[in-house]
Structure 1
């Protein structure tokens, strides 16, 4: 792989394939939701809660991918291509071992975990089925994340995008057969959707591995798959564990909030699933900009271009805030039609429209976090976002969700108040951290003179 390829990449060149890739990942989840909504609203709620749990697990093995992405980018910026390759291969091996362990635990303890969520009885059976199948093979998603992160850090963002397109096509076709049962085939519902999800991911992983070998011209040091260098493992953990810690805190706090919402009833759970599916389309602009910015800043930090890195984050943040606000307004303007795609229940549509209205306030706050936190991680400043994140997510988001949503009986409106307070508080604190330039001292790689 040639690091000179990445030096020519602009934010737009990096970001638009990432945007398409994330959009397609979201479409895969939404395809499950949309198709299942024609089958049963209860099935939608069951899969939604199961995916809430699985998202926490994905973050837990995402720490290796996060560390690899940052370290590979910094080493390429410092023109240390051999070290970058060693880290890439080591990260794949480490994540395979760790994710296999988590897959086994999910398969064995799926019922226990769902019972802790206080799920309504009518959802428990389908949620358990989905969790056993998708959770039992979740290690495939870990490998997809790791290989994709490596390819993106080298600048090959289009490759991962094309693979995601193929995975989506397989997923939609498979869902059609298992949910609607054409040509007299059996209707498998949630179980069928789970098998289709895992099959499409497995095919995607196989293709990504072939692309990685091809792009490296078979020059990646695959001996690093079995022989780890202590420094590489330490650096991966030093960046990856805190980076994933912030995401883990977010997802576990969301599980706690989902527990509160489960007490509001199945209708509240279903409304949340539908609204958040739509919100993800707004959010993906900030996610893509944040990831593209992280790659560029990682290279800049490795090359020692501190001022350029500082300016890149600020410019990206302004773009993300503008786009996310505009998209939130557009989605609210068409909220009735969009929610009508998923359901014809007037209560769900009415509640969902109001939540999308106050999402206009929420989304700019999330843009702060996604862009600035990714920028801080790219520099190696990974602990501060975790400390602030844990304090705000649990002290503000979870606490406010219970107080406004359950205690004051404001329902989902109270939960959204908690989301807004949390995102804006964290966002402002992260921006202050970036302005301070404390992160200059945090870089893991210094360009050798």
Structure 2
């Protein structure tokens, strides 16, 4: 038990997640720098398309995220076979959903670009990027499900090491295939799509090997045919509100990118560059938020509710310090960083105007991530869904259009709406966590010492 406690400690879980997220962020930055050498239009297409991909990934990350919480809870309550079955089902179902998404994106890329209002001059580039990167979404689905399952067993180092290796390979392939270096053909944006899918495939092979040995019994091929309806219903009970929550966020971002597309390609490019820079601000906070979700789920499974309650505030405190420090650093060097991406003075000016607002945005984002993940960890996923439906629908989406497009405030108006949304959801999540509804329920359901383990209810 002590070894499991160490395995599920906040710092043990958080630092590998941070390294992994840092590498992903750096990779995204390198990608953006390399793509910007093709053209600002290419950057706009990549940023726009990635918002679409993020929206669609919620269809399979719903399963992976719900299963991940239950895996940690089952391990906390000493039920490893259930945890193993949950993990296998999450991989199987996520892959099936990913295959369906890949089929649609590969064959309907032009229709999707037209539907979402992408400028006509960007259609040829979007045909390439949406078709080929989107066609490999089933690999992204497998990677997400495998990585989530592995992390929620307490092994956050394995995905980290995989991320280090894959990121290095990705940088080399991007450099070679975009610019025709080190013996590769010069394929431009097409090279980015080849590099992305090659790295996804390699990641799947590595994580599959790791996944096979993540539980007491080795996972074998026939296990992927097993389906436990009762456990799957539990995944859906926790997962579907999380899926709606994630969908609200990514679709609001997609809507915002559509509004920016209405404003012009330069506004779209500026937001894409700023999105890349902002990633450095919240990555440490995100690492603590993800780690505390795993830890609270494990403690909740063991009915250690007081420790679970305190863990959320500990993660929030560390996260706030880190994101504020990062946001201040970005404010000081942001202009120089933007100059790495583009020499267009209008795009740089737009980005610089957002650096101060980012200092206000990041604490709200950290509050929302930490307390929202804490609520999800104990199964209170419907509450986070309800506040996301309201805040993201009204504040982040409707008000962004009203202020940014309708009243002509542009990027600044949209950014203020994003800030307001984060603080509203964060404050409501804090209020709910302080009420201890699910923690008190677990306390009342606790089995007296010596009578065996109890699994707290996660019904909603």
Is TM more than 0.5 here?
Answer: yes
Could you tell me which residue of structure 2 aligns to residue 180 of structure 1? 179
Q: How far off is 1:185 after superposition?
A: 4.7
Instruction: Work out whether residues 300 and 308 of structure 2, in 8 Å CA contact, stay in contact via their aligned partners in 1.
Output: yes
Compute the TM-score of the two structures, normalised by the length of structure 1: 0.96
Could you tell me which residue of structure 2 aligns to residue 80 of structure 1? 79
* Residues paired across the two proteins, number: 446
Could you tell me which residue of structure 1 aligns to residue 66 of structure 2? 67
Q: Quote the Cα distance in structure 2 between the aligned partners of 1:394 and 1:318.
A: 29
The worse-fitting range, judged by mean Cα deviation, of 318-327 and 246-255 is 318-327
Instruction: Work out whether residues 6 and 154 of structure 1, in 8 Å CA contact, stay in contact via their aligned partners in 2.
Output: no
Q: Quote the Cα distance in structure 1 between the aligned partners of 2:224 and 2:335.
A: 51
Q: How far off is 1:442 after superposition?
A: 6.9
- Aligned pairs for 1:431-442 (under 5 A) are 431-440=430-439
Q: Quote the Cα distance in structure 1 between the aligned partners of 2:138 and 2:184.
A: 30
Could you tell me which residue of structure 1 aligns to residue 453 of structure 2? 448
Could you tell me which residue of structure 2 aligns to residue 206 of structure 1? 205
Instruction: Work out whether residues 90 and 145 of structure 2, in 8 Å CA contact, stay in contact via their aligned partners in 1.
Output: yes
Q: Quote the Cα distance in structure 2 between the aligned partners of 1:8 and 1:280.
A: 29
Could you tell me which residue of structure 2 aligns to residue 18 of structure 1? 17
Q: How far off is 1:144 after superposition?
A: 0.7
Q: How far off is 1:31 after superposition?
A: 2.0
The worse-fitting range, judged by mean Cα deviation, of 213-222 and 232-241 is 213-222
Task: Please give the root-mean-square deviation of Cα atoms over the aligned residues, in Å.
Answer: 1.7
Could you tell me which residue of structure 2 aligns to residue 376 of structure 1? 375
Could you tell me which residue of structure 2 aligns to residue 275 of structure 1? 274
- Provide, for residues 344-384 of structure 1, a one-character-per-residue CA deviation record: whole Å limited to 9, x for no partner: 12221122111011110011010011111111111011100
Q: Quote the Cα distance in structure 1 between the aligned partners of 2:175 and 2:341.
A: 16
- When residues 189 and 6 of structure 1 are mapped into structure 2, their CA distance, relative to the original with a 3 A threshold, is farther
Could you tell me which residue of structure 2 aligns to residue 35 of structure 1? 34
Runs of 5+ unmatched residues, structure 2 = 447-451, 455-460
Q: How far off is 1:187 after superposition?
A: 1.9
Could you tell me which residue of structure 1 aligns to residue 5 of structure 2? 7
Instruction: Work out whether residues 80 and 215 of structure 2, in 8 Å CA contact, stay in contact via their aligned partners in 1.
Output: no
Instruction: Work out whether residues 248 and 392 of structure 2, in 8 Å CA contact, stay in contact via their aligned partners in 1.
Output: yes
- When residues 184 and 207 of structure 1 are mapped into structure 2, their CA distance, relative to the original with a 3 A threshold, is closer
1:167 aligns to 2:169 (yes or no): no
Instruction: Work out whether residues 61 and 99 of structure 1, in 8 Å CA contact, stay in contact via their aligned partners in 2.
Output: yes
Instruction: Work out whether residues 404 and 410 of structure 2, in 8 Å CA contact, stay in contact via their aligned partners in 1.
Output: yes
The worse-fitting range, judged by mean Cα deviation, of 94-103 and 21-30 is 21-30
- When residues 337 and 235 of structure 1 are mapped into structure 2, their CA distance, relative to the original with a 3 A threshold, is same
Q: Quote the Cα distance in structure 2 between the aligned partners of 1:382 and 1:399.
A: 24
Instruction: Work out whether residues 213 and 219 of structure 2, in 8 Å CA contact, stay in contact via their aligned partners in 1.
Output: no
The worse-fitting range, judged by mean Cα deviation, of 291-300 and 178-187 is 178-187
Q: Quote the Cα distance in structure 2 between the aligned partners of 1:433 and 1:193.
A: 43
The worse-fitting range, judged by mean Cα deviation, of 176-185 and 284-293 is 176-185
1:408 aligns to 2:407 (yes or no): yes
1:392 aligns to 2:397 (yes or no): no
Q: Quote the Cα distance in structure 1 between the aligned partners of 2:2 and 2:159.
A: 20
Q: How far off is 1:278 after superposition?
A: 0.4
- When residues 52 and 338 of structure 1 are mapped into structure 2, their CA distance, relative to the original with a 3 A threshold, is same
- Provide, for residues 248-297 of structure 1, a one-character-per-residue CA deviation record: whole Å limited to 9, x for no partner: 11010111111111011111000000001100111111211111001110
Q: Quote the Cα distance in structure 1 between the aligned partners of 2:3 and 2:119.
A: 53
- When residues 282 and 442 of structure 1 are mapped into structure 2, their CA distance, relative to the original with a 3 A threshold, is farther
- Provide, for residues 190-227 of structure 1, a one-character-per-residue CA deviation record: whole Å limited to 9, x for no partner: 11101110101100110111112234465347644212
Instruction: Work out whether residues 67 and 240 of structure 1, in 8 Å CA contact, stay in contact via their aligned partners in 2.
Output: yes
Q: Quote the Cα distance in structure 1 between the aligned partners of 2:5 and 2:183.
A: 54
Could you tell me which residue of structure 2 aligns to residue 311 of structure 1? 310
- Aligned pairs for 1:267-346 (under 5 A) are 267-346=266-345
Q: Quote the Cα distance in structure 2 between the aligned partners of 1:4 and 1:122.
A: 60
- When residues 183 and 322 of structure 1 are mapped into structure 2, their CA distance, relative to the original with a 3 A threshold, is closer
Runs of 5+ unmatched residues, structure 1 = none
Instruction: Work out whether residues 68 and 87 of structure 1, in 8 Å CA contact, stay in contact via their aligned partners in 2.
Output: yes
Could you tell me which residue of structure 1 aligns to residue 111 of structure 2? 112
Q: How far off is 1:27 after superposition?
A: 2.4
Q: Quote the Cα distance in structure 2 between the aligned partners of 1:199 and 1:184.
A: 17
Q: Quote the Cα distance in structure 2 between the aligned partners of 1:398 and 1:442.
A: 35
Q: Quote the Cα distance in structure 2 between the aligned partners of 1:236 and 1:305.
A: 22
Please identify runs of 4+ aligned residues in structure 1 that moved more than 3 A.
3-6, 183-186, 214-218, 220-224
Instruction: Work out whether residues 6 and 12 of structure 2, in 8 Å CA contact, stay in contact via their aligned partners in 1.
Output: no
- Provide, for residues 394-428 of structure 1, a one-character-per-residue CA deviation record: whole Å limited to 9, x for no partner: 11111221121112211100110110111111110
Instruction: Work out whether residues 153 and 214 of structure 2, in 8 Å CA contact, stay in contact via their aligned partners in 1.
Output: no
Q: How far off is 1:228 after superposition?
A: 0.9
The worse-fitting range, judged by mean Cα deviation, of 96-105 and 133-142 is 96-105
Q: How far off is 1:164 after superposition?
A: 0.7
Instruction: Work out whether residues 47 and 190 of structure 1, in 8 Å CA contact, stay in contact via their aligned partners in 2.
Output: no
The worse-fitting range, judged by mean Cα deviation, of 271-280 and 94-103 is 94-103
